[in-house]
Amino acid sequence: MSDKKKLYRSSEDRWIAGVLGGISAYFDWNSTLVRILYIILMFTPGVGLVAILAYIVMIAIIPAENAPVSFFNQLKSTYKNQNSSKKSRKVIHGVEEEDINHDKKRG
């Protein structure tokens, strides 16, 4: 099971974010061919905007080759940590409360 392939953004074969280089490495395709097909898809009427938005989404979802988790999962874990810290309550023991104006009234 450890020889299972995973999709990563390439850190070596990259022009913008390494998405197309990672896809070409995953499928064992030529990266130049993948880039040419993506450019053709990008300039196809009615599909171009979807292709650009899909590339942006893939940047956020697909983890970088050297990163342990994707950008989206990093944001999700950060959000969970912020919410869990808001729910926790800290209690301080052994503290006495004193009126700071008490000394001024004596004086």
Q: Which residue has the higher pLDDT, 90 or 20?
A: 20
The pTM score is 0.57
Whether residue 6 contacts residue 69, with contact meaning beta carbons closer than 8 Å, is answered with: no
DSSP one-letter code for 53: H
- pLDDT confidence band for 99 (50 / 70 / 90): confident
- What average pLDDT does the segment 30-50 reach? 90
d(Cα 47, Cα 38) in Å, to the nearest integer?
11
- pLDDT confidence band for 1 (50 / 70 / 90): very low
Q: Is the pLDDT of residue 16 over 80?
A: yes
Which tokens go with 83?
């919410």
Least confident of 9-13, 25-29, 83-87, 89-93: 83-87
Instruction: Name residue, tokens 């080759």.
Output: 65
Which tokens go with 47?
């599909």
Amino acid at 6: K
Segment 62-81, tens digit of pLDDT: 888 776 666 666 666 666 66
31: enclosing H helix or E strand: helix 31-42
